[in-house]
Amino acid sequence: MKKNVITRILTVSLAVLLCMACTSVHKQGETVDASVFGLKPDTGKDASSFIRKALEYCTRHHVAKLIIEPGRYDFYPEQTFETYLFISNNHDGLKSVAFLLKGMVDFEISAPGAQFVFHGYTLPFVLENCRNVKLTGFSINFARTFQSEGDILSVGNGKLEVSFSEEYPFKVENERLKFYDETGKIEYPFGNLLEFDPIRKETAYMARDYYVGNNLKAEQTGPCSVRLHIPDIQGTPGNKMVFAPNHRLVPNIVVHRCEGIEVDSITMYNSGGMGFIAQMSKNLTVSKMVVTPPSGKVVSCTADATHFSNCTGKIRIEDCLFENQMDDATNIHGIYMRIKKKISPYKLLVQLVHHEQLGMDIFNPKDSVEMVDAKTMVTYAHAQIDSVKRLNKDFTEITFSDKLSEKVKINDVVGATVTPDIVLRNTVCRRNRARGVLLGSRTSISVEGCTFHIGGAAIMTGGDSQYWFEQGGVSNMTIRNNIFDNCMFGNWGRAIISLDAGEEPEPADVPRFNRNVLVENNEFRLVDSRIVSAVSVDGFVFRNNKIIRSDDYPFSSQQAEPFIMERSVHVDIEKE
């Protein structure tokens, strides 16, 4: 009996001391150390429950800073937060989230030297309806990467033989290749193949994508090797063949309807989608972010390093390194919704078309929007929204303050008119699949002091109302003091700088889709003669740029002009 009483007293005393410790720290500096909640590094145990307690405490008590000590922390999905998410350009679904920040204001997670390692399909960070939040100092990695990387043994006659290390457990079941985690329970399905050069640690010269699904005929040829039947497959023995995931289920950091978010000095080694994705948010800063592969691998994030959808205010990307991801370094754009029905002179039924944009609430009452011809991308009318009624993840009813223009027609698209100021500065983009940066804004864009080494276009702009439905077009764009180092050694672009427009020519008497583009004081080291491809530009200046022919790669056999200008006016190109 006495023993039970003593035990109870000790338990209550410990709880009181814990509470006092937290309160004391909170009062003294509005700072809490996560160790107070039992979080310890390098244990190998699941850290999810301790982080959950810490974040719940910080939310209740309006803590200003949560500190996490250096060391490794492992996160498993069993005790994470759970929430259903619609994520632009990623796949929606019910997510297991390790760090879920909802409604946080004036808050920072500071974790210099902390290594966050996630297991399975655990999504690292979600910030929702937050303001003035900073994440700094830590790294993100996964115990099992979402891609599988194999060594090419032989290629020929529609067959590819590849060997895999023990990091990529696999089985051949019913003549189908399937990848698993170390437990053999979690599957990692693949959707496309891409060859990488392990010496240069980049996509192989002129490599192409093989979109194969997960239905290739396979036969196991050894304990660690498999032969796949792929028509027209090409590759070089000794190179790496990357089996990329057929989904984008697990981006690393998701920012939704937030303002004043800063991500500083974070390293990302892998992801199951975008590295950093922000949507419907304002004033975002990404600084000193490093996206790079884990040791011995050739792929980092399995999609874009960073991505911004329907964001406003100022977007700043500075002093970053984005390398070896399976898609672009950044993509900044809006979303077009397709007009499905004119319900009344004041009301439209609109649709989100691409499956990776479903569920996006991109419009709000009092927003100004543009009506855009789906073929020419010409904006022919503007309107102000009175009310928005989302019917489901596909369809939304929009009621407007005034009567709609009679020009509005079915299958045209609707987009927002407020776009961000974009600053991309002192950043290296290299060795990734596809393009460097995709930029869209009618406000202003500045790309300065950056280095691009990209298999396709280094800088691309444009709008799309046929597949991705990404709202684009640029005004007031400056590209200055950059190095374009051996770009276009792959198959993902029409030129180093590619300014695109609609599918069909716009009428001669309407404004061009892109306007006021300045390219000056850059250095171009060429392995392909195509420097600029510009469509529908009013005001293009190319001056004081240094152009060097490189011998680092075979020079492209395409006999193309360095400057291809279509439907463009007020063009001033200064050649050496």
pLDDT digits (tens, 9 = 90+) for 205-226: 999 999 997 789 999 999 999 9
Quote the CA–CA distance of 306 and 165 in Å, as a whole number. Answer: 29
- In the chain the domains, ranked by start, together with CATH numbers, are 2-144+250-323 (2.160.20.10), 148-245 (no CATH), 335-416 (2.40.30.10), 422-573 (no CATH)
Give residue 382's pLDDT.
97
Percent helix, strand and coil across the chain, each to the nearest 5: 10, 45, 45
Q: Is 5 a residue whose pLDDT tops 70?
A: no
Residue 87 one-letter amino acid: I
The residue-averaged pLDDT of 57-62 equals 95
96-139 pLDDT tens trace: 999 999 999 999 999 999 999 999 999 999 999 999 999 999 99
334-366 pLDDT tens trace: 999 999 999 999 999 999 999 999 999 999 999
Please state whether beta strands 395-400 and 379-390 pair in parallel, antiparallel, or not at all (unpaired).
antiparallel
pTM of the shown model: 0.94
576 pLDDT tier (thresholds 50, 70, 90): low
Q: Which segments of 413-495 does DSSP mark as H helices, in order?
A: none
Q: SS3 of 432, please? A: coil
Residue given tokens 């998701």 in the structure block: 254
- First-to-last alpha carbon distance for the chain, in angstroms, is 94
Give residue 19's pLDDT.
46
Which has the closest alpha carbon to 59: 114, 97, 105? Answer: 105
Quote the CA–CA distance of 33 and 70 in Å, as a whole number. Answer: 12
Quote the CA–CA distance of 283 and 251 in Å, as a whole number. Answer: 20
Q: SS3 of 429, please? A: strand
Percent above pLDDT 90 for the chain: 92
Alpha carbon 16 to chain centroid, angstroms: 45
Give residue 546's pLDDT.
98
Give residue 361's pLDDT.
95
Locate 550 and state its tokens. 């490189």
Give residue 558's pLDDT.
80
Which has the closest alpha carbon to 465: 312, 326, 351, 295? Answer: 351
96-106 pLDDT tens trace: 999 999 999 99
Rounded to 5°, the CA angle 274-44-146 comes to 25
Give residue 432's pLDDT.
98
**C-beta separation of 291 from 274 below 8 A:** no
Quote the CA–CA distance of 572 and 464 in Å, as a whole number. Answer: 27
Q: Which segments of 215-257 does DSSP mark as H helices, in order?
A: none
Locate 451 and state its tokens. 């280095």
Give residue 17's pLDDT.
43
Q: Is 557 a residue whose pLDDT tops 90?
A: no
Quote the CA–CA distance of 462 and 455 in Å, as a whole number. Answer: 19
Q: Is 7 a residue whose pLDDT tops 50?
A: no
**What are the backbone angles phi and psi of residue 22, rounded to the nearest 5°?**
-65, -45
Which has the closest alpha carbon to 102: 81, 129, 124, 79? Answer: 129
Separation in Å, CA 267 to CA 320, 343, 439: 10, 49, 23
**Which residues, 6+ apart, have CB-to-CB distance to 119 below 8 Å?**
74, 75, 76, 77, 142, 143, 144, 181
Give residue 575's pLDDT.
78
Quote the CA–CA distance of 489 and 284 in Å, as a whole number. Answer: 32
Alpha-carbon Rg for the chain, nearest whole angstrom, is: 26
Torsion of CA 361, 365, 369, 373, to 10 degrees: 60
Q: Is 145 a residue whose pLDDT tops 70?
A: yes
Give the mean pLDDT of the chain: 94
Give residue 455's pLDDT.
98
**Which residues, 6+ apart, have CB-to-CB distance to 426 below 8 Å?**
318, 319, 448, 449, 450
459-476 pLDDT tens trace: 999 989 989 999 999 999
